[in-house]
Amino acid sequence: MFSTPRHTRSHHPRDLAAAHDARDRRAHHPDLTKLGGWKAMQKEGDLPEGRWDEERRWALRMGLTGADSIEDKSIPIFARGELPHYAGINTFLKAPYAEDVLEVAHYDATVLGIPFDGGTTYRPGTRFGPQGVRKISALYTPYNYEIGVDLREQMTLCDAGDVFTIPANLEKSFDQITRAVSHVASSGSFPIMIGGDHSIGFPCVRGIAEVTSKKIGIVHFDRHADIQEKDLDERMHTTPWFHATNMPNVPAKNLVQIGIGGWQVPREAVKVARERQTNIITMADVEAMGIDKTVEMALDMAWDGVDMVYMSFDIDSIDCGFVPGTGWPEPGGFLPREALALASGVAKEGLCGLELVEVSPPYDTSDITALMGTRVIVDVLGAMVSHGTLGKHKAMIDKPVQFPHGEFEGKRWSNPHPHKVGG
Ligand SMILES: [Mn+2]
């Protein structure tokens, strides 16, 4: 099956005109051809499918020729690649696993899991967020009907696995996370971080801020402001933007916080937001202005005088009825459709990084929160691919870093300059 193209198209003008007539004749209603549904149906015909062919050829090489009774000769013995959706070793969207992290440089975008919930001040469990999102991401195809995008054909994606975080140590984990993000950002690949609680926002942005001399704006979707200096005496998940906007190339006036509200915004955070003049758009503001106007305003404010924009998406910005598996559930948030439209709208201008945080599988039901998180990521990628903005940030990474390969010295404790204990 895979050796025969699904449909063969002639580009002769006469045939194209005939095809157009045929399309028009398919209008069963005078307004049908004005609908997105009709346009999307036509658009799929223009998408390439070479990578899908390649993947199935590769699957047969890796997984061996299927049993004689199997009629579809693209089916191998051992499941490899996208199909079946319930089978396989589960990376994000079943993207190739970049076991050697130097390989991320060969991909347009890289997923990295950040399994860390040491910054959580209520429900824990987001250390399982990357696993949860990867697991349910397996049910997706790389194609989206409405926007007419096929991620497999139009971009390359890998999964670099997880960052080695240190449970119960925020600062060491932050240092590890910053290095991981710096590594991916330096390679030019678009970093996609799957948390983890929201404390990772600071080290993630720091990872990008450290490899560029340019300025970064942030669009932050959340019910919570997350901008107080400390919480419970530490830099918890309520604090990332205080520390991120302390960096000279991450101006607070370019921090746009969308969806903030309800009964869980500490007054301490509001004071900081006011002092630093961040931009807060509440749920009621979004409702009053509508999605398009909100996107326009958010883009204006985030991009004002900066060179690139980072997106932080807290899954709890969506009404908790849709996302039970999260650390601080709050009613009254976005409807899923609103959240996806806003995230795509902001992403279409291009981003320098995306983080998806606060998915907590132990509190989830039927994987719906993790599924919502998956959807945010693929919608953001889809928006950038369809607007040709994925990779736009590369030119801004002007201070790339390189970390040496580890050298194992035969013992577990090999720090030549250990801290003196009791001295
Ligand atoms: Mn939140």
| Pair (98, 29) in one structural domain | no
The predicted structure's pLDDT at residue 4: 38
C-alpha 397 chain-centroid distance: 19
Total domains in the chain come to 2
| Pair (197, 294) in one structural domain | yes
CA 121 – ligand 1 centroid, Å: 11
Q: Is residue 418 part of a domain?
A: no
CA 317 – ligand 1 centroid, Å: 6
| Pair (229, 147) in one structural domain | yes
Q: What angle, 0 to 180 degrees and rounded to 10, lies between the N-to-C axes of helices 368-386 and 336-347?
A: 30
The 10s digit of each residue's pLDDT in 166-186 is 999 999 999 999 999 999 999
| Pair (207, 340) in one structural domain | yes
The predicted structure's pLDDT at residue 1: 32
Burial class (CB in 10 A: 0-12, 13-18, 19+), 43: middle
CA 41 – ligand 1 centroid, Å: 38
| Pair (252, 378) in one structural domain | yes
Q: Give the H/E segment covering residue 44.
A: helix 36-44
Work out the widest C-alpha separation in the chain, in whole angstroms: 87
Q: Is residue 415 part of a domain?
A: no
What is the span of the domain harbouring residue 182? 92-396
| Pair (135, 38) in one structural domain | no
Q: Is residue 66 part of a domain?
A: no
The predicted structure's pLDDT at residue 11: 53
- CATH number of the domain that 228 lies in? 3.40.800.10
CA 327 – ligand 1 centroid, Å: 8
The 10s digit of each residue's pLDDT in 284-315 is 999 999 999 999 999 999 999 999 999 999 99
Q: Is residue 368 part of a domain?
A: yes
- Return the C-alpha torsion angle 104, 109, 110, 113, nearest 10: 170
Q: Is residue 403 part of a domain?
A: no
CA distance 177 to 195: 11
- Residue 367 backbone phi and psi in degrees, to 5: 60, 20
| Sheet architecture: strand order including 308-314 | 157-162, 109-114, 190-195, 353-357, 308-314, 216-221, 255-260, 279-282
Q: Which of 272, 267, 268 is nearest to 246 (CA)?
A: 272
Q: Give the H/E segment covering residue 313.
A: strand 308-314
| Pair (151, 32) in one structural domain | no
Q: Is residue 219 part of a domain?
A: yes
The predicted structure's pLDDT at residue 334: 98
CA 166 – ligand 1 centroid, Å: 22
CA distance 158 to 387: 21
CA distance 350 to 109: 13
Q: Is residue 127 part of a domain?
A: yes
Return residues with CB closer than 5 A to ligand 1 (ion): 222, 224, 314, 316
CA 421 – ligand 1 centroid, Å: 38
CA distance 56 to 66: 12
Mean pLDDT by groups of 10 residues along the chain of 423 residues: 41 56 66 94 96 96 97 96 92 97 97 98 97 97 97 98 97 98 98 98 98 98 97 97 98 98 95 97 97 98 98 98 95 97 98 98 98 98 98 97 84 63 44
CA 123 – ligand 1 centroid, Å: 12
Predicted model pTM: 0.91
Neighbours of 227 (CB within 10 A): 30
CA 204 – ligand 1 centroid, Å: 16
CA distance 115 to 166: 9
CA distance 182 to 110: 12
Output the CA angle 182-106-302, nearest 5 degrees: 45
